[in-house]
Amino acid sequence: MSDKQGFDTLAIHAGAAADPATGARQVPIYQTTAYAFRDADHAARLFNLQEVGYIYSRLTNPTVSALQARIAALEGGAGAVCCSSGHAAQIMALFPLMAPGRNIVASTRLYGGTVTQFSQTIRRFGWSATFVDFDDPDALRAAINEDTRAIFCESISNPGGYVTDIPAVAAIADAAGIPLIVDNTLATPWLCRPIEMGATLVVHSLTKYMTGNGTVTGGVVVDSGKFDWSASDRFPSLSAPEPAYHGLVFHQTFGALAFTFHGIAVGLRDLGMTMNPQGAHYTLMGIETLGLRMERHVANALAVARWLENDPRVEYVTYAGLESSPWNATAKRLYPRGAGALFTFAVKGGYETAVKVVGALKLFSHVANLGDARSLVIHSASTTHRQLTEAQQRAAGAAPEILRLSVGLEDVADLIADLDQALAAATA
Ligand SMILES: *Cc1c(COP(=O)(O)O)cnc(C)c1O
């Protein structure tokens, strides 16, 4: 598969030749746990990583492999490892880099679940995170110390739909000799290709736009293959002998595929955060139409954001695709196809009115998800952020008067009509 082919061609064909055994044109769901070895020597070579092949589906599975190849092609990466969820992908991305006492520097503008994972859960591993505003390069540089092993941000970030200047952040990571990990869930490779902007690793929640219809929980880690793991002694998992494989050195042996092979041979083997073949199948089907869907998501989001911004019942809209957004210039420069389809807006009338709008919406579903074909809404202050004080809610972009929209693929006139009637009902 040539990477000279266009995005929509790769979205349909990458990783998916006709099945060699049957000629099946669509990628079969290989619903199997194990694979027969040709003989004892074949088995030994597979277990020694001397030959690449299928052993056991915790490690590799042909349906999942097809999805990995497709996503690696779309992101312009050397390889990819699928995982059981977006959160699993984040742990899988950090695992080869980290050790007790090491830290990451992460953006303050992140998916709420990621803030919890990084500020609380990873401490159990002896890892820690420092959160800084990634629009402030000096603060970012100052937060990096000799124990920092990665920088982490989202390309387009939740909940406000803000955009990150990835080349600027990548330059800082480069100067410090540490990898930049970008969560590209909200943008997808159709709107943003972080590796081309200098990212080392890309992670996704495949649960969202990549699958696109709210049917799968999945994740992926994509490696650019460009980071020199042997340039310092900071990444021994990749640059030093691995005792569990008779002293094999991943970077020396696998070169640009070192991180990917480590992810499968050590990460999936021992952490077991494996994606199942049925889920991989649904995500492959979703990705076939990714370009078409994202184009419509963005067009609908922009139309809804413009309509809301001009409505007297609305206080403000945070969408980076609007000229009024402080992130609009960055969005135009780095995200020319659009600033995604997730943003927040504030209603006049505070908490009471916001809750009434959610209750009155009919087409928009009130759910804790995003990136679905269906339009979704959530009132964060009464749900995901309800344990926080009002000051904390405001800092998180989840103030009492704020609603978050994930704009779907419906006819945009119907979406606007729904918002119009709900705002009317709430302010009557
Ligand atoms: C949903 C989401 C995650 C977590 O993914 P899961 O598949 O729910 O584990 C991480 N980052 C972002 C930006 C998300 O939207």
CATH of the domain at 274: 3.40.640.10
258 in the same domain as 191: yes
Cα separation, 154 vs 186, in Å, equals 8
The verdict on residue 2 lying in a domain is no
159 in the same domain as 57: yes
Cα separation, 135 vs 293, in Å, equals 30
Half-sphere exposure of 85 (CA within 13 A, CB side): 7
The total of structural domains in the chain comes to: 2
294 in the same domain as 281: no
The alpha carbon of 184 and the centre of ligand 1 are apart by a number of angstroms equal to 10
SS3 (DSSP) at 422: helix
Cα separation, 188 vs 75, in Å, equals 9
272 in the same domain as 232: yes
Cα separation, 246 vs 256, in Å, equals 21
357 in the same domain as 267: no
Neighbours of 14 (CB within 10 A): 22
Cα separation, 336 vs 283, in Å, equals 25
202 in the same domain as 216: yes
pLDDT tens profile 10-19? 999 999 999 9
Cα separation, 251 vs 241, in Å, equals 10
Ligand 1 and 85: CB distance under 6 A: yes
Q: Which atom of ligand 1 is nearest to the CA of 157?
A: 13
Choose one of 240, 261, 286: the last residue of a domain: 286
Q: Which atom of ligand 1 is nearest to the CA of 89?
A: 9
* Structural domain boundaries, residue 41: 7-286
413 in the same domain as 362: yes
361 in the same domain as 252: no
pLDDT tens profile 359-415? 999 999 999 999 999 999 999 888 878 777 888 778 778 899 999 999 999 999 999
**Average pLDDT of the residues of the chain:** 95
Q: Which atom of ligand 1 is nearest to the CA of 206?
A: 7
303 in the same domain as 281: no
Closest CA to 296 of 160, 412, 158: 412
Would you write out the chain's pLDDT as a tens digit for each of its 428 residues? 455 899 999 999 999 999 988 999 999 999 999 999 999 999 999 888 888 899 999 999 999 999 999 999 999 999 999 999 999 999 999 999 999 999 999 999 998 889 999 999 999 999 999 999 999 999 999 999 999 999 999 999 988 889 999 999 999 999 999 999 999 999 999 999 999 999 999 999 999 999 999 999 999 999 999 999 999 999 999 999 999 888 999 999 999 999 999 999 999 999 999 999 999 999 999 999 999 999 999 999 999 999 999 999 999 999 999 999 999 999 999 999 999 999 999 999 999 999 999 999 999 999 999 999 999 999 988 887 877 788 877 877 889 999 999 999 999 999 999 999 999 999 98
Residues near 171 by beta carbon (within 8 Å), at least 6 away in sequence: 198
